[in-house]
Structure 1
Amino acid sequence: MWEKYVLFIDAEAIVIDKPAGLAVHPGARTPESLEDYLHHFRFGFERLPLPVHRLDRDTSGCLLLARNPKAHKRFQRAFEEKRVSKTYVAVLDGVPTETEGTIDLPLGKVSSAEKGWRMVHDPNGRPAITHWRVADVRGGRAVIVFTPETGRTHQLRVHAAEGLGIPISGDPVYGAGKGPMLLHALSFHMERPGKNPVEATAPLPPTFVNAGFGDVQL
């Protein structure tokens, strides 16, 4: 059963297709998480694989797991050295005026008792850069391919809402929150010195299919 989630596997890495609705790590609002299921991805190893990065709970798609602690450190270093490239696809609640571009909006965290925490554009925040292009337009909504240079928390969601001025469909924090959030980690590529790269592509999930975007050409 669990093999169906595996997109790539070798002796040190696994890329899984994380389903939307499942948090990577447990928290106050997410008692159930991927950590509850990591034992299913041992595939003969004694150690549990460890997530190397994060995806938001409501984001589906490619997630890298390391099969031992040494690989985990090497993979984290690959992220730091920008040897990792990721592509995401999202459906927006509208259509941008342009067809492609780059969003350069530094991000910072704010918190309030009423709304909890969220990320916002902050000129003094951490650098955040995202390249984007329109892949399709249907029913007044644009399908966007995002290629982030940085990996800040909620980066694509804030860059859509504040950078493009149009939130991701279903975003419960930065948008209207109607229906499932249509954000998917489409592809992953990581260079490894002396070894073949780790690379995978995750098919569009049922949320995209049900919303009428399952056959878009990306």
Structure 2
Amino acid sequence: MRRFPRSAGEAAELFRGDGVVYDDGAPALPADPCRGGAIWYHRPLPDEPELPHDLPVLYEDPWLLVVDKPHGLPTTPRGRFVAQTALTILRHRREEQDLAPAHRLDRDTAGTLLLTRDPAVRGAVQRQFQARRTTKTYEAVVALPSPETLQRLPPSRESRIEKTRGRLQAGEIDGPVNAVTRIEPLEPRPWTDADGLWGALRLTPLTGQTHQLRVHLDALGVPIRWDPLYPVARERDPGDLSRPLQLLARSLGIRHPVTGEPLEFTSGRTLATLWEPHRPST
């Protein structure tokens, strides 16, 4: 009770009802001896804003599930979001408690999300990501300081990216390269609207550092449109999705962990501010 990072009164509340339990689920009481044992604390769920639940299935078989994640929906429970996450929604909707994400897609990013249905193949799939044997492409709408910037962007960005625990932003630092992104204009011409000058890029990350694409583009002076973190972290209403980050995980390629067959999955979504000629035909 003394070590708990709350007041004694708040800590005592945990031991009422079934908030704190032993491994077998039996309630732990304040007077119980616990030396040498372990107890589990089930924190109360915070109020969560309703987030988009549209998760179209792009592919499924007995081992894998691929969905098209919307902007604003976290992949896994974290921070203030537990129920309003892709993993929780899919586990309840499909009644599949063994579902697990094979990789992480930021809450702000939409597009292809791969999950494993069979725990036996989870390690094999995750090793493909760790060994960089997967292929990923993204699309982004970025702010341009001038019309010439789009053609002057380098074909790739290589740097060292690190994120300090407790900080919202990651950043480039001196040291050995651990993040590589290939950059290609989707179309050579930028466009303007009432908010500024914009360009469309195709991005191919060859590594998987936290916020890699966002950090690299911001470092090049072309931050992603409506990015709430880069170049400056801004306060936002967690339920406000009116200006989603203009970043889309367009495609993902892997080898099937059982059959060895090469597979590629493609998102059917479109960035809201993408110039009309770039929108896929229907």
Give the TM interval when normalised to the shorter protein.
Answer: 0.7 to 0.9
Distance 1:51 1:28 in 2: 17
Structure 1 unmatched runs, 5+? none
Task: Provide the aligned C-alpha RMSD in A.
Answer: 2.6
Q: Which of the pair is proportionally richer in strand? A: 1
Residue 145 in structure 1 maps to residue 195 in structure 2: no
Aligned partner of 2:230 among 174, 177, 185: 174
Greater gyration radius: 2
* Distance apart, 1:175 and its partner CA: 3.7
Contact 1:41 1:48 in 2 (8 A): no
Q: How does 1:79-158 map to 2 (within 5 A)?
A: 79-94=129-144, 95-98=149-152, 101-110=155-164, 116-124=167-175, 127-136=178-187, 137-139=190-192, 140-158=197-215
Task: Tell me: CA distance 1:62–1:216, structure 2 relative to 1, closer, same or farther (3 Å).
Answer: same
Distance 1:60 1:15 in 2: 13
TM-score, normalised to structure 1, is 0.84
SS for the counterpart of 2:230 is coil
* Distance apart, 1:48 and its partner CA: 3.1
TM-score, normalised to structure 2, is 0.66
* Distance apart, 1:71 and its partner CA: 1.2
Contact 2:182 2:204 in 1 (8 A): yes
Q: How does 1:21-36 map to 2 (within 5 A)?
A: 21-31=72-82, 32-36=84-88
* Distance apart, 1:59 and its partner CA: 0.3
Contact 1:91 1:169 in 2 (8 A): yes
Task: Tell me: CA distance 1:204–1:75, structure 2 relative to 1, closer, same or farther (3 Å).
Answer: same
How many pairs align?
A: 208
Distance 2:177 2:210 in 1: 10
Percent identical among aligned pairs is 32
Range 182-191 or range 31-40, more displaced: 31-40
Aligned partner of 2:71 among 20, 27, 30: 20
Distance 1:78 1:186 in 2: 19
* Distance apart, 1:41 and its partner CA: 6.1
Distance 1:3 1:58 in 2: 15
Distance 1:10 1:214 in 2: 35
Q: Which amino acid aligns with 2:256?
A: R
Segments ≥4 residues shifted beyond 6 Å: none
Q: Which has the higher contact order (CA 8 A, sep 6+)?
A: 1
Residue 165 in structure 1 maps to residue 221 in structure 2: yes
* Distance apart, 1:168 and its partner CA: 0.3
